[in-house]
Amino acid sequence: QPAEGCKSSRFAAITNIRAPSEHRDDAPSRGRLLARVHPDDRAAVQRTLQDSLHGAPRYDMEYRLLPAGGAPRWISSHGSVEFDEQGRPLRVRGVSLDITARKQAELELLQKQKEVTHLARVAMLGELSGALAHELNQPLTAILSNAQAARRFLAQPEPDVAEVAEILIDIVAEDKRAGDIIQRLRRLFGKQDTPRQRLDARELADGVIRLVRNDVIQHGLSVRAELGGEPLAIQADPVQLQQVLINLLMNACDAQAAPPASDGAIVLRCARDGDAALLSVIDHGAGIAPELLARIFDPFITTKARGMGLGLSICRSIAAAHQGTLWAHNNPDGGASFHLRLPLADAP
């Protein structure tokens, strides 16, 4: 509002901002204005007014005004001081707007952004700890059952020391695998490249079968390797791929052990598929529920009472990190098949 006509203060434009409850005869003055400005904003307003009086071309300020008995209002003031020929301040021309609603919206937005950032962090932490718990479960269970077996052997009148020594070797290997898993997950979540090495997909599959054989037997099931004749060289992180195949085999065990339990060996097949190696895990369980088929690779999708629903989503990101693909379908004669397709190292 222009200050012309208001003789008592050059800053009438500013002081004319008043809460609806205030009266117009509330004589404006610089001191009165400053007294109504929020204490935290007062020094800045004072500085801006001083600068304007000493020749600053224009003023722009945002501050809180404290109307008598009301909630603070946010005010945005813009304008300039006009001077006479002697350089004395003559009047203020400017405008002051009540921007309380906009400020509140901005503050709410800021608050929401903070919440979203926090939630994203929590989700990331949840995912990381969930993934760690999920993947470490297997080696930790193996270490526990091996340690219990060793205690049973040692409790016998004539312990078989050679057997215990072998169990200890297994424990050390499982412990090392747990360490490798932690390293691998840190790389996965840290988005670092993982070290690749040239390896034969069939040897990898064979090694995995040896690792899971005890688990499979404990489920009352069996696993059969169909590894084909020709070597299939791929560039891969062996620990990551081991983890994918172990996950798929353990899922197959769960599917096949669930009632009505079905016999028939779970198959781990290795074959060439054009320029790629195709690793398949085929089971004779109940198959994947049709409504879940499109979602089983999403995180936190599980049908198991104690499942976390993270295994397949991790497996798929590992496959993608190897320029490979992982997909699933139900078999025409029952059960499900999961296929991991990885480019051959020498593929053009």
State the residues that interact with ligand ADP by CB under 6 A: 247, 251-252, 255, 283, 285, 287-288, 292, 296, 301-304, 307-313, 336
Residue number with CB closer to ligand ADP (81 or 281):
281
Q: Quote the least distance from Cβ 257 to ligand ADP, whole Å.
A: 11
Residue number with CB closer to ligand ADP (237 or 283):
283
Going by C-beta distance under 8 Å and a sequence separation of 6 or more, which residues neighbour residue 273?
341
Q: Quote the least distance from Cβ 229 to ligand ADP, whole Å.
A: 27
Q: Give, for 154, the enclosing helix (H) or strand (E).
A: helix 100-155
Residue number with CB closer to ligand ADP (171 or 315):
315
For the stretch 109-114, contacts whose Cβ atoms lie closer than 8 Å and that sit 24 or more positions apart, written own/partner, are none
Say whether 38 sits in a helix, a strand or coil.
Answer: coil
Q: Quote the least distance from Cβ 207 to ligand ADP, whole Å.
A: 21
Residue number with CB closer to ligand ADP (52 or 313):
313
Residue number with CB closer to ligand ADP (288 or 326):
288
Residue 56 carries which DSSP code?
-
CA distance 51 to 198: 72
CA distance 183 to 178: 9
Q: Quote the least distance from Cβ 332 to ligand ADP, whole Å.
A: 15
Burial 190-200 (b: 16+ CB within 10 A, else e): eeeeeeeeebb
Q: Could you tell me the CA-to-CA distances from 279 to 230, 235, 275 in Å, in that order?
A: 14, 14, 13
Say whether 188 sits in a helix, a strand or coil.
Answer: helix
Residue number with CB closer to ligand ADP (138 or 247):
247
CA distance 191 to 247: 22
Residue number with CB closer to ligand ADP (228 or 287):
287
Cβ–Cβ under 8 Å, residues 205 and 315: no
